[in-house]
Amino acid sequence: MSPLTLALICYWKRLPSESAAVRARCLESACERVSRRKDSRAVLLPYALGDSDEDIVAAATRAYVQPSGEGAQLDTGATSEAADWIRRGLALNRGAVFGALLSIGGEAVLDRLAGLRLGLSAAEVDTACRVLGRPAGAGVVDFLAEWVELTEDGPSASGQRALLAVLDGQDRAQAA
């Protein structure tokens, strides 16, 4: 059995008895250890892949692909891994992983997400939009506008409404 499989099994055993608040504090501690280089980023994987709480998954995903600390930059290899979690259905909460990556933005990230966005369910689109919040940067806004156009004739009215709400919020924020 792989180390990741064992870590996920241990994580899932704890899940029923720990609240989201407790898991979020444990994630903060793990992120701190990673930023001080006391642990590898692999300690974040159970949170990103094995949790269902969108805030925990999003925070773990962001920390995994864009570690904090001195000289930390976006890791394109880790970004590819996270996109693969979505593609292969490895994360329990694919929408939160997608939203976390989308919130990071940047051309390379958006290019990886472009081919995945139509594979999300309406519920996953809703989750991604909640995780994203208000989009930062013209690239993300353009990505969302294009996504709306791609879904105009599709069956997912709920997902399209979520995308439009995010874009509408962006328009109102720019007008203020």
What pLDDT shows up at residue 138? 85
What pLDDT shows up at residue 130? 95
| Predicted structure pTM score | 0.90
Number of structural domains in the chain: 1
Q: Which domain holds residue 153?
A: 3-175
3-state secondary structure 45-85: HHHHHHCCCHHHHHHHHHHHHCCCCCCCCCCHHHHHHHHHH
Please name which of 42, 49, 50, 123 lies closest in space to residue 85, comparing C-alpha atoms. Answer: 49
> How many other CB atoms are found less than 10 A from the CB of residue 72?
12
Split the chain (176 residues) into runs of 10 and give each run's mean pLDDT. Answer: 93 95 97 93 97 97 82 82 97 98 93 94 94 85 91 69 82 48
